[in-house]
Amino acid sequence: IGKNSVIGSNSIIESNVIIGNECVIGSNVIIKNSILGKMVVIQDGCKIGQKGFGFIPIKGKNIKFPHIGIVKIEDFVEIASNCTIDRGSIDNTTIGKNTYLDNQVHVAHNVKIGKNCMIAGQVGFAGSTNIGNNVSIGGQAGLSGHLKIGHNVKIGGGSGVVKDIADNQIVMGYPAVPFKDFLKKNKNE
């Protein structure tokens, strides 16, 4: 635990955790299998570094896939209340420098979120999706697994992203489409 870091009441820091300098960990937080950079803020109720949802389907039985990766949270990140960030299965789950996650965001195993991203409340990321830098995502959007979201992308609230998105795009809807197409479609309805 780094110099000048503060940990709130009833929080649990389990094995395999490194917390950088000047971090603030709220109350009722559980952190395991994680590395936090400096000046990271983890608000109340977050669960970071637990096993994700991964199964190998075998006839008559599902076997839980092992998770041996970690969570890496870079400098100046803020994770708001009641977020869940799963450890990586084989790779790591990463939150980039200066990124903000609002309340109740779920980040599945192996997800990589870039730098300077703004993620609104109740967004869900399925496993192994890569998010570029400077991405903004509106509340209650969902992103399917194994996608590549480019840099400077804006995803409207309530959108369902099921395909890769190139750099500098604005999308909205379910499934998410370019914003101009979304407006045209909804104008005619």
- Active centre residues (catalytic): 109
Nearest to 136 by CA among 149, 122, 118, 115: 118
- The secondary structure element, H or E, covering residue 101 is strand 100-101
Task: Determine the Cα–Cα distance for residues 49 and 41; give it in Å rounded to an integer.
Answer: 15
Find out whether 36 and 16 touch, Cβ atoms under 8 Å: no
> What's the token pair of residue 15?
């094995």
Which residues, listed in sequence order, are joined to residue 101 by a DSSP beta bridge?
79, 119
